A and B are shown apart, each in its own frame.
Chain A
Amino acid sequence: MKGDPEITILTNSVTSIAGHWDEGDPFVDEAEIKAVLGWEIKPEGLCKDDACIPVHHEQSFKHQERYNLHTVARLTGRPTLISQELKTITIGQPAGLRSSALKDKIAPDFVLPDIGGVDRAFSDWAGKKRLLVAFSSW
């Protein structure tokens, strides 16, 4: 089953892992589902902290002992762009985080490198009033 990396996943980082494709969807090992999306596969379904999403209605959730990354992303509220030709799946941010930001005014936390290359979390500056300035050189 294990071979060379066959699937590239673009999330907040880039990872290439072993997997296979079936009917246009990427299938990966159980451990990768947790590593990539933070959700665990349990008898109750997809679980994170105390929350579980049932999966028994899903048609093509499992194939050859691997799990459908596209389905897991969709069930956990993350948009995807799949290119089987490029063997790549691009996974966007959870829609719920943006919705909380816009409607409930809860700022989502994020981690990005500073210009010295050191990863920083926005929450590192919790306790201060923060003026978040999105800018660019273009």
Chain B
Amino acid sequence: MPGWQELHEELQEEGFTVIAVAIDENLDSIIELATGVTYPVLMDKDHILTELFAISNVPSVIWIDEDGKISRPAASEFGTDTFSEITGISREAHMQQVREWVRDETLPEDASFVVHDLSDEEIQARLHFRLAAHLRRNNMIAESEKHFDNAIKLAPLDFTISRASMPLRGGDPFGEEFFELYQKYQDAGSPFHGIPRKRQTSK
């Protein structure tokens, strides 16, 4: 969040804003993450955005112009370099591209990439997740668990389903469960709804 704050401050006088949407229901954690942030931060506890834009992991960053046209579709981009050793993604190249878009209307080559649509299974998985989250909020734990299981069965490598459900079910999204998921994801060729990342050949 602080990284996006720097970019927001740098470009906000030039007709630009960051809008962050938390694919999350943990308001306290998001408020903490948003400390010092002056751009809008919205809560999407029911994952509406993951269905509207076919988002399958976070962070996913989408560029949208003045008229509501998508200038560059979803890509994994980071506000900080905290995870750059794991992801191979550094923040600065993307931030420079954003400056060029805002100031010169220049788009990178990958902006024309067409993100593939959600499968029927991925759509149904989102509905099961939505229902499970609702049931859990109403303390219908057994029923909720069943629908979380259904969701994960339908979209096992979708992080907005599999990983997002971990804290809701008492698990640890940064623990062993996550590393197992990440390994499976990599073994499957890192399936992602968004611009594919050319991996930098670093260790």
Contact check, A113 vs B59: say whether CB atoms are below 8 A apart.
no
Question: Which one of A114, A127, A137 contacts B26 once the chains associate, using CB atoms below 8 Å?
Answer: A137
Secondary structure type dominating chain A contacts: mixed
User: 1/0 per position for B40-70, CB-CB distance to A under 8 A?
Assistant: 1111101011111111001111111111111
The A118-138 residues at the B interface (CB cut-off 8 A) are 120, 122-123, 125-138
How far is B48's CA from A10's CA once the two chains are assembled, in angstroms? 12
Q: Which residues of A contact B23 (CB under 8 A)?
A: 134-136
CA distance A120 to B17 in the complex (A): 15
For A122, give the chain B residue with the smallest CB separation: B19
Fill in one digit per residue for A77-100: 1 if any B CB lies within 8 Å of its CB, else 0: 001110100101010110101110
Complex: how many Å from CA A138 to CA B129? Answer: 15
Contact of B145 with A by CB under 8 A: no
Interface check B195, CB cutoff 8 A: no
Which of A19-27, A35-43, A47-55, A103-111 touches B? A103-111
- B166 near A132: Cβ-Cβ < 8 Å: no
CA–CA, A125 and B64, complex, Å: 10
B102 to chain A, nearest CB (A): 5
Distance in angstroms between the alpha carbons of A109 and B64 in the assembled complex: 11
Contacts of A133 in B (CB 8 A): 4, 18-21, 59-61, 77, 79
A48 CA / B9 CA spacing, docked (Å): 42
Complex-state Cα separation, A129 to B98, whole angstroms: 10
Q: Give 10 nearest A-B pairs by CB, closest first.
A: A137-B29, A81-B127, A138-B173, A105-B70, A112-B42, A132-B62, A93-B51, A136-B24, A134-B60, A133-B20
Q: A95-B123, A98-B118, A136-B24 are in contact. List 7 more A-B contacts (CB 8 A).
A: A105-B70, A112-B42, A115-B22, A115-B27, A129-B17, A131-B7, A138-B167
